[in-house]
A = this chain, B = another copy of it.
């Protein structure tokens, strides 16, 4: 338990959390690695290995207590505290994010919506008033350790990112289709719509190739 949780495991824990919540809502309070794995598209052994990095929270011969395991994963992920989120860019995507229920229910609290468009300032989106981007530095100062979510146009993304970093933010989730440059101490993750499509295209293409050539039985 002591050492470090592998990066690959970290990326899967939220998926387990989601499946556990669903089970809990259905009144299930005990689950085997086999059942939990099948609802998260991983193999049971991988699931058990992942969970073993957190500790021994299952019961041999029985399974895992759904709520207890949920709590343990949440704790390991740092989700027992509430993380302030500042959402920048209130276009269609920003509005979708502002209204996304998955944030508040998972330890994230939107603290401010910021946009540069004066016609949007003061309008209410997802229960929050939109404020002007000029307030960025103040908002970040008021919310220590906040996470910045960037849903801004590609051409201003790096500039906004720089401001966010200078204001002291060390965790950024970027939706703009750009590779942002940040200092090493800043954690940056990106969600890229077209990249995922391109990866699908590759596999779709490969399917056609496989049906017309002899190669690649896998």
What CA separation (Å) do A78 and B201 show in the bound complex?
6
Q: Which of A60-68, A85-93, A135-143 contacts B (4 or more CB under 8 A)?
A: A85-93
A189 at the interface (CB under 8 A from B): yes
Oligomer: number of copies: 2
Q: Is the CB of A194 within 8 A of B95?
A: no
- Find A102's partner among B18, B103, B149, B194 (CB 8 Å cutoff): B194
Residue among A40, A96, A191 with the highest chain B CB neighbour number at 10 A:
A96
Given A106-B194, A205-B78: A187 in contact with B170 (beta carbons within 8 A): no
A164-218 interface (Cβ within 8 A of B): 170-173, 177-179, 181, 187, 189, 191-208, 215-216, 218
Closest B residue by C-beta to A215: B2
Q: Is the CB of B92 within 8 A of A99?
A: yes
Q: Is the CB of B77 within 8 A of A194?
A: no
What CA separation (Å) do A99 and B18 show in the bound complex?
29
Q: Count residues of A near B (Cβ-Cβ below 8 Å).
A: 67
A100 at the interface (CB under 8 A from B): yes
Closest B residue by C-beta to A205: B78
Closest B residue by C-beta to A187: B203
Closest B residue by C-beta to A147: B200
- Find A189's partner among B40, B103, B199 (CB 8 Å cutoff): B199
What CA separation (Å) do A198 and B91 show in the bound complex?
23
A39 at the interface (CB under 8 A from B): yes
What CA separation (Å) do A10 and B198 show in the bound complex?
9
Beyond known contacts A81-B205, A93-B93, A173-B200: 12 more, CB 8 A cutoff: A10-B199, A14-B194, A39-B181, A41-B179, A76-B202, A92-B92, A96-B96, A100-B194, A145-B204, A145-B208, A149-B197, A191-B196
